Structure 1
C-alpha cells in the first residue's frame, strides 16, 4: 500500500473522529475523553500487534524520535480537542489541516530544494485558511473568542507536523508497529501525569463511553497508517493526504450539525485543500 493510500485512510478515520469530538466535547470532560480515546487506540494497537506478530526488537536509536513523537502527539491532541470544543468546525478544520505547510518549511530548513511554485502554494494555503478564519461569524453558539480557537487549532497543526515527522523517522529506524506503540504510550503516560497534577475528572461518563471507544478505534487506525508510511517511498505524501480530514470534517459538520457556510467560506476551504492537494503532486 502506498503512502498516499495510507494517508487517505487516515483522513477518513480522523474526519469521523473529529466530528465526534464536536459532539462529545460539549457533554463530557475534555481530558477524560482524550484519555479514553488514547487508551482505546492503545488497546487496538496492541491487539493488532498480537494478531500480526508485530512485536519486533526496537533499536535504541529509534526510541528518542518515537518518544518525542508521543510528546508532539499529546500536544496535537490537546490542541485539537480544545479547538473543537470551542468550534466552529468551519474555522478549526482548515487551520489544523494546514500542517503540511510546516513539512515544506522543515524540508527547506534541512536543505531540500523547494521551488517557487511550492512556496506560492504555501502562500495560497495560508490565504485560504485566513479567509475562513476572517469570515467565521461570532454567532450565539460561539461562546469563546475566535483568537482562543485559532490558537488551539494552530497548536494542533504544529503538533501533528512534529508527530508525523518524528514518528516516520522512528519507523525508518525500526519497525513501524513498536515505534507507534512507543509514541502512543508516551502520550498516555504524559496525559495521566498531567491529570494527576491538575486533578480533572478521569471518568468521561457512561453515556459518552460508546462513542469515545469508536473514536479511539478511528484514532488508532489513523496514527498507525501515518507512522507506517515512514518506511515507504514519498512518506510525506501520507501527511498531505491525511490533511484532507479537515474537508471531511467540515462537510460532516455542515450536513450533521447544520453549521452555516457562506459561499466565500466554501471558496476559502476549496483554496486551502486545493493547495494542499498540489503539494502531493
Structure 2
C-alpha cells in the first residue's frame, strides 16, 4: 500500500471523526469533547502498543522529545481551531483552518522535496478544491458582525499555521519511533495538559451522557487511527502527497453531512468536491 492510500484512509477517519465530534459536542461541548477524544485515543493506543510489543521504541529521549514537540503543535492548532469555532463563524473558520495542508506543502518544498509539474498542478487543484468545499457562501444580509468575523479568522489562521507545521514535522519522529508510538506520545501529553489548560482559562469539562459517550469513543479511536495512517503514509511517500490526500477529510465530513445529516451543499461546494476528486486521481495516476 503506497503513501497516498494511507493518506486517503487518514482523510476518511479524520472526516468521519469530525462529523461525529460535531454531533457529540452539541451537548458535551467542544472542549470537553476534545479532552475525552484524546483520552480515548490514549487508551486505544496504549492497548495497541501492548498488543504489538512496541514499547521498546521509546528508548531514545531525543526522538521522544521531537514527537512530543510536533504533537504539542498539533494540539495547540486544534485548540486554536476550536476557539475559532466558538468565537467566530464556522463558514469563515473552517476554510481558513482547512488550508493548513498548504503550509505543510510549502514547508516540504522549502526543505527539499521535488515533484513533477503535473503532480504539483494536481496538488494545487486538490487544495483549491478543499477550500471551495469548506467555504459556505453567506446569504445576503446574514453575515455576522465584523468583529466576530475577524476574531474567528485570526484563530483559524493560527490553527492553520500550527497544524500545517505539525503535520510537516511528524515525518521526523515517525521515521524513528513508528506511527503508533508517535501518536501515543501526543495523546498522553494531551490527556495530562488539557485539564491544566482548561483550568487556566476557566473551561469546565462536562461528563457526557451515554449516547454521547458512545460517539466520543468512536471519535477518539477514529482520530487516533487517522494520525497513525498519516504517519504510516509518511514512511512511504513524500509529505506533500500524503498531506494532500489527508486534506480530503473536509470533503468526507461534508459528504457525511449530506448522506446522514440531510445537508444541501452550495454550488461552490460541489465544484470543490469535483476538484478534489480530479486532483487526487491525477496524483494517484501520474
| TM-score over 0.5 for the pair | yes
Other-structure match for 1:77: 78
Other-structure match for 2:12: 12
Residue 37 of structure 1 and its aligned partner are, at CA, apart by: 0.3
Contact 1:21 1:85 in 2 (8 A): no
Residue 20 of structure 1 and its aligned partner are, at CA, apart by: 1.4
Structure 2 gap ranges (5+): none
SS in structure 1 at match of 2:5: helix
Separation of aligned partners in 1, 2:245 and 2:150:
27
Q: Classify 1:159/1:175 alpha carbon distance in 2 versus 1 (closer, same or farther; 3 Å).
A: same
Separation of aligned partners in 2, 1:21 and 1:155:
21
TM-score under structure 2 length normalisation: 0.80
Residue 46 of structure 1 and its aligned partner are, at CA, apart by: 0.7
Other-structure match for 2:199: 196
SS in structure 2 at match of 1:68: helix
Residue 73 of structure 1 and its aligned partner are, at CA, apart by: 1.7
Other-structure match for 1:136: 138
1:206-245 → structure 2 map (5 Å cutoff): 206-207=209-210, 208-245=212-249
Q: Classify 1:131/1:254 alpha carbon distance in 2 versus 1 (closer, same or farther; 3 Å).
A: closer
Separation of aligned partners in 2, 1:20 and 1:131:
19
Separation of aligned partners in 1, 2:197 and 2:205:
11
Contact 1:56 1:178 in 2 (8 A): no
**Stretch moving more, 15-24 or 114-123:** 114-123
Contact 1:89 1:253 in 2 (8 A): no
TM-score under structure 1 length normalisation: 0.82
Residue 50 of structure 1 and its aligned partner are, at CA, apart by: 0.9
Q: Classify 1:150/1:256 alpha carbon distance in 2 versus 1 (closer, same or farther; 3 Å).
A: farther
Residue 141 of structure 1 and its aligned partner are, at CA, apart by: 11
Residue 247 of structure 1 and its aligned partner are, at CA, apart by: 0.7
Contact 2:101 2:164 in 1 (8 A): yes
Residue 269 of structure 1 and its aligned partner are, at CA, apart by: 4.4
1:168-207 → structure 2 map (5 Å cutoff): 168-207=171-210
Q: Classify 1:52/1:62 alpha carbon distance in 2 versus 1 (closer, same or farther; 3 Å).
A: same
Question: Which residue, 218, 233, 248 being the options, matches 2:252?
Answer: 248
Separation of aligned partners in 2, 1:258 and 1:131:
16
Question: How big is the alpha-carbon RMSD for the aligned residues of Structure 1 and Structure 2?
Answer: 3.4
Contact 2:129 2:274 in 1 (8 A): no
Separation of aligned partners in 2, 1:130 and 1:28:
30
Residue 195 of structure 1 and its aligned partner are, at CA, apart by: 1.6
Structure 1 gap ranges (5+): none
Separation of aligned partners in 2, 1:77 and 1:68:
14
Contact 1:129 1:272 in 2 (8 A): no
